[in-house]
Amino acid sequence: MKEKLLGVLGGMGPMATAYFLKIVTDMTEAETDQQHIPMLICNHTTIPDRTAYILGESNENPVPALCNDAKFLEKSGADILAMTCNTAHNFYEQVQANIEIPLLHIVKETVEFIAKRNNNCKRIGILATKGTLKSGVYQDFCEKNQLQAVVPDKAVSDMLMNIIYEKIKKGKKVSVGEFLGIIDDMREMGGCDAVILGCTELSVIKSDLKLNRYDIIDSLEILAKRSVEECGKKVKTDYFTE
């Protein structure tokens, strides 16, 4: 099989991009450098804010930069692309239309992972930016997979935005109590069977706090898993308990 080069549309944010590279490496079954997946990373940190544009708080459209980066990675030899930002998937169709290689869809892959993993998991809490929630992309894929998406109320959504923009993006720490408090509220008050970390900044928190709970589904981990598989490599058998 021809070795596949993975292109990474990153920089949204840079910590999430760095963590994605670590996950891909950690979960790949390999014994030598040469057995790992070759990756080409575009860490474009100056792409306009996706949520601000979706909410109408900014006129700076991120789509041209996303499309240009995707075309750059394709021309540079990438065989498949992964975009390490959930909110940017509001523009997935526009980016995919500008390239001929496949662009993995983090939302689609995450929701399908849940649907295949456990038939008893029906109500799914969506922890994401206000931009992602407004786009409805998680709600749409949950409906397609016979799952019920549960979105946070305004108070929880405000807390999430504060954690994402005022803490993680600024390099500040988030306490385990603060983070798990939001997740447990979604479980108890929202009646959720599981919650999706639908923002890759939240994936960074999960890693920092060393959380490993069956009911917390990390979208960045699922994207990494599918990247490994689509590049023709094996995921370590002990990485996921499906």
Q: Quick one: pLDDT at residue 185? A: 87
Q: Is-catalytic flag, 42? A: no
Q: Quick one: pLDDT at residue 238? A: 83
CB 35 within 8 A of CB 102: no
Which one of the listed residues 85, 142, 192, 231 is annotated catalytic?
85
Classify 24 in phi/psi space as left (phi over 0), alpha (psi -120 to 50) or beta: alpha
Q: Quick one: pLDDT at residue 147? A: 96
Q: Quick one: pLDDT at residue 1? A: 60
Question: Cis bond leading into 13, ω under 30°?
Answer: yes
Please write the tens of the pLDDT for every residue from 198-215: 999 999 999 999 998 889
Residues of the chain with CATH 3.40.50.1860: 6-105+223-230, 107-218
Cβ neighbours for 11, distance < 8 A, ≥ 6 positions apart: 17, 42, 43, 44, 45, 46, 47
Which stretches of the chain drop beneath a pLDDT of 50? Answer: 242
Q: Which CATH class is domain 6-105+223-230?
A: alpha beta
Q: Which CATH class is domain 107-218?
A: alpha beta
User: For 123, which DSSP code?
Assistant: E
Please write the tens of the pLDDT for every residue from 139-164: 999 999 999 999 999 999 999 999 99
Which one of the listed residues 42, 142, 199, 231 is annotated catalytic?
199
Q: Quick one: pLDDT at residue 241? A: 56
